[in-house]
Amino acid sequence: MVSVPAYLLDQVEKPVRYIGQEINMVVKDPESVGIRYAFAFPDVYEVGMSHLGLRILYHLINQRPDTYCERAFAPWVDMEALLRAHCVPLSTLETGTPLSQFDFVGFTLQYELSYTNVLNMLDLGGVPLLASERDDTHPFVMAGGPCAVNPEPLADFVDLFVIGEGEDVIGEILDLYGEWKGQGGSRMDFLGKAAGIEGVYVPALYDIAYHEDGTVKAVTPREGAPDGIRKRIVTDMTAAYYPEEMLVPYMDIVHNRVVLEVMRGCIRGCRFCQAGFIYRPTRERGVDRLCQLADRLIGATGYEEMSLSSLSTSDYKELAQLVRRLEAEQGGRGVSLALPSLRIDSFTEEYLSTHDKARKTGLTFAPEAGTQRLRDVINKNITEEDIMSGSSAAFGAGWTRVKLYFMVGLPTETMEDVQAVADLVTRIRERYREIAAKKDRKRLSIAVGTSSFVPKPFTPFQWVGQDTAESLREKQQVLKQNLRIPGVEYRWHDVQVSRLEAVFARGDRRLGAVMLTAHSKGCRLDGWAEHFRYDRWMEAFAERGLDPDFYANRVRDKDEVLPWAHIDMGVSQAYLWREYQRALRGETTPD
């Protein structure tokens, strides 16, 4: 079974995206289960199949004898055109079942510019876009993931959101559904009961009032819904479910290897980083369990590469022991261990001694800012000495390819801070030349990337206005001119994309109308540069009478009711505000 008729496959660029049948795909008889769950990833197959959350939840849900979890991905434009031309609905890979025939369609929200893909997949799958237009014959549309911490822009389209870590709550939702389905209750009856599960947000049970200036006046629960929705977390990572087999695709995907999740959370507290706050507290998975998982996953998949996954793998307390054991136990099977992205201050000779076999790969470091003043503002907690000593350790050990990531538009940033990025890159290049002069080395390659700062909910910078598009372009131009250095390649993010990301990151429920209009104008696959249509988005905002600057560029007051005020991610607004004030004073907060 494939998700589309076979006669369409030879008409698209990458037919393997739509055939399924991968190694370790779960096969069940749909007639033998009481609950059908479609895990819908709002991007193309190779992106979605690289997502660790999909791999975890797919196998976790399929452990239930009463539930069959299947997968669906956003089709590329060539396949979408064929599906519409031939009136073929978007269906799952496992059984070719249209999305409209499932009990649940669950989306993971990893990136704000995937939102129109959610609408497009529902439309292609035969599911009414608006939650208010669905009846008892339609599936419940769920959503979770990091972008769900501000669910309001998608509130018109989603029946229930999962706030927090899905594997901690999905079983309770499915148990409740099984009971409700057996009793034959109404759709709203189920949603009302689901709202009683900690971590579940049902937008239809909340009324939003606005002031005349467009800011949120109040978020009011009704029909017994809780005042606030507190996130769910997995408390014991070692005991928590983790799949001992993973799907092995027939095409190359973004992360085509065994992935070991070593920890969740981050001790660092970088003030721009949403993940660092919403995934608190830090929780580690034990070394013995990780080694056991590695052995079983390699055996089940045949992969020859493993990577360690976390927000800051170098902060895993038993990293040296884990690396030594994995290389000792798996190296004989021809399995290599991929070096994760590291904090540059952790990259030392001591670390190198634990991971000798990664020396031929490229390295990725993220200084984020060029000056110490600005690094203190964002609480990066690294010094230039850390940067230079980490670079020296890498160059001395044989690395000749380095990626460096920075941001422009950070709060309090000046043009001197921007120029300092180029100056720092130059000093790193000079350090390599000093080391290379003592050895026979090839030319250094430095890839410099800058993203535009996007203020995100549940960070100390959630009140900050994003830099204007004109200012961001000017800063990019300064770097383009000053990074014309031999061996250095500079890339930057599209300012218009970053602006729209900020709009939806900090937006309210009224943006649903804009999204609906943009989708009707053909907006989808917005995260792909060749399909991003900024002009159509601006037309949609104008037609709905909303100003993008109101969401992206406006500074929020301390006492303003934020659109996500009813969501509790475990970090108080008072703490975030104190961190914001410390940032403005240039004060750092220790790990």
**Through-space distance between the first and last CA atoms of the chain, rounded to whole angstroms:** 51
d(CA 364, CA 366): 7
pTM to 2 decimal places: 0.95
Residue 153 has pLDDT above 70, yes or no: yes
Supply the pLDDT for residue 145: 96
Query: Cis ω on the peptide bond leading into residue 460 (within 30° of 0)?
Result: no
Supply the pLDDT for residue 436: 77
Q: Identify the weakest region by mean pLDDT among 124-128, 147-151, 392-396, 486-490.
A: 392-396
Tokens of 11: 């008409």
Torsions phi, psi for 169 (to 5 deg): -125, -20
Beta bridge partner(s), residue 401: 445
d(CA 323, CA 320): 5
Tokens of 316: 């895993």
Q: Which residues touch 151 (CB under 8 Å, ≥6 apart)?
A: 143, 158, 161, 163, 201, 203, 564, 567
Nearest to 273 by CA among 161, 366, 390: 366
Per-residue pLDDT of 441-457, as tens digits, reads 678 899 999 999 999 99
Query: Cis ω on the peptide bond leading into residue 281 (within 30° of 0)?
Result: yes
Per-residue pLDDT of 16-27, as tens digits, reads 999 999 999 999
Per-residue pLDDT of 367-387, as tens digits, reads 999 999 999 999 999 999 999
> What is the crossing angle of helices 187-194 and 170-183, to 10°?
150
Residue 359 has pLDDT above 50, yes or no: no
SS3 479: helix
User: Sign (positive/negative) of CA torsion 252, 112, 236, 57?
Assistant: negative
CB 587 within 8 A of CB 378: no
Percent of the chain exceeding pLDDT 70 equals 95
d(CA 392, CA 471): 34
Supply the pLDDT for residue 364: 81
Pairing of strands 283-284, 263-264: antiparallel
CB 298 within 8 A of CB 263: no
Work out the mean pLDDT of the chain and round it to a whole number: 93
Per-residue pLDDT of 306-358, as tens digits, reads 999 998 888 899 998 998 999 899 888 889 887 666 677 666 655 565 555 54
Beta bridge partner(s), residue 261: 309
Residue 288 has pLDDT above 60, yes or no: yes
Tokens of 295: 């052995």
Supply the pLDDT for residue 394: 83
pLDDT band at 138 (very low <50, low <70, confident <90, very high): very high
Pairing of strands 200-201, 160-162: antiparallel
CB 306 within 8 A of CB 257: yes
Q: What is the mean pLDDT of residues 275-298?
A: 96
Q: What is the mean pLDDT of residues 470-483?
A: 97
Cβ-based neighbour number of residue 227 at 10 Å: 10
The DSSP letter of residue 555 is P
